[in-house]
Amino acid sequence: MTFLQNLRRRWHDADSLVCVGLDPEPSRFPSKFANDPDAVFDFCRDIADATAEHACAFKPQIAHFAALGAEDALARLIVHIHAAHPGIPVILDAKRGDIGSTAQHYAVEAFDRYRADAVTANPYLGRDSLQPFLDRADKGVVILCRTSNPGAGDLQDLIVSDSGGNNRPLYQHVAETIAREWNGNGNCVLVVGATWPEQLKQVRGIVGDMPFLVPGVGAQGGDVEAVVRNAKTADGTGLIVSSSRAVLYASSGDDYAEAAAAAASALRETINRYR
Ligand SMILES: O=C(O)c1cc(=O)[nH]c(=O)n1[C@@H]1O[C@H](COP(=O)(O)O)[C@@H](O)[C@H]1O
């Protein structure tokens, strides 16, 4: 099954649009991990196991592992998720993008080394820079469109003229270009931040039913109701609503796993109320 087939099945079977972000920060781990030499793996595994029933996807963020020299923990975590929770896709958040010959290696890294089902990517270098990812038809390519951060508009909102003479913000041009020209294998997903409900609506109007990865609920304060109302597809799906810190660090006590499960479950219920 392809990434998108898996995702759609999971949306349905788990009745969930929630993605659990795995962004390990050892300084925020519960004290029981203080003397654990494999704390990064053990903590993330416990969170994944506790939240799986509420999740349509997991999204480990590669810098959080690489900065700690914990790439091996990341690889083992993805193996664990595939074995213990088959059918839940893993999106590797790496925001890759480089000249084609280098991008080939990033595609091998994400899909063959780490065995991710999808990877986040930056479209700024143009289509050839993402071609090695797009060519992997069974994998998802999750492309930045209108990011969640405060400075998203610095470049993404600049008005550009396309070859048809249309003037509009760059993020809308990115959305249409990907939908029309880069999605030949039907494996593209767009990243649109939860912190920008109006832009979510605009992008949904441009790209039809293409799925969105929507980070920015929880710690970044995005409004779940506005996200769902503005960006769901006609069948009440189309969204991978991702939360990391608000789930991972819901409790710093021994009940961290139960608290994470409760946070993921509450997010699922809030989303489902509006779809
Ligand atoms: O691609 C992403 O996942 C991403 C895109 C974006 O626009 N904003 C954004 O926050 N992210 C990632 O989503 C996660 C958000 O974490 P929380 O704010 O803790 O839920 C981080 O790992 C970010 O790197």
pLDDT attached to residue 75: 98
**Is 23 touching ligand 1 by the criterion CB < 6 Å?**
yes
From the CA of 215, how far away is ligand 1's center (Å)? 5
Contact 222, 194 (CB under 8 A): yes
CA distance 183 to 188: 6
Q: How many domains does the chain fold into?
A: 1
- Give the pLDDT of residue 85: 98
CATH code, domain carrying 210: 3.20.20.70
Ligand 1 pocket, residue 2 CB under 6 Å: no
In the chain, the amino acid numbered 196 is W
At 244, the amino acid letter reads: S
Count of CB atoms within 10 A of residue 22's CB? 27
Q: Which of 32, 95, 201, 232 is catalytic?
A: 95
Ligand 1 centre from 144 Cα, in Å?
11
Q: Mutual orientation of helices 39-51 and 256-273 as an angle, nearest 10°?
A: 40
How is residue 178 annotated by DSSP? I
Q: Residue 165: its pLDDT value, please?
A: 86
Out of 18, 20, 23, 213, give the residue to mutate to test ligand 1, the one with the largest number of ligand atoms within 8 Å of its CB. 23
Q: Which of 17, 20, 49, 44 is nearest to 30 (CA)?
A: 44
Compute, in angstroms, the gap from residue 214 CA to the centroid of ligand 1. Answer: 8
Q: Which residue range is the domain that position 17 belongs to?
A: 3-273
CA–CA distance from 194 to each of 177, 208, 219, 221, 262 (Å)?
22, 18, 11, 8, 21
At 162 the pLDDT is 83
- Is 220's C-beta closer than 6 angstroms to any atom of ligand 1? yes
Crossing angle (nearest 10°) for helices 224-231 and 197-207: 20
CB 244 near ligand 1, within 6 Å: yes
Strand residue runs (E) in the chain: 18-22, 57-60, 91-96, 118-121, 140-146, 159-161, 167-169, 188-192, 212-215, 239-243
Nearest CA to ligand 1 atom 13: 215
CB atoms < 10 A from the CB of 31, how many?
9
Ligand 1 atom closest to 146 (CA): 7
Q: Is 95 a catalytic residue?
A: yes
Ranges of residues in the chain with a pLDDT under 70 are none
Helix (H, G, I), strand (E, B) or coil at 117: coil
**pLDDT for 164:** 82
Which residues are CB-neighbours of 147 under 8 A, at least 6 positions away?
156, 191, 193
Query: Of the residues 93, 212, 239, 247, which should be mutated to test ligand 1's pocket, given the most ligand atoms within 8 Å of the CB?
Result: 93
Choose one of 244, 245, 247, 267 to mutate for the ligand 1 pocket test, by most ligand atoms within 8 angstroms of C-beta: 244
3 state SS of 8: helix
8 Å CB contact between 24 and 103: no
Sign of CA dihedral 239, 244, 246, 247: positive
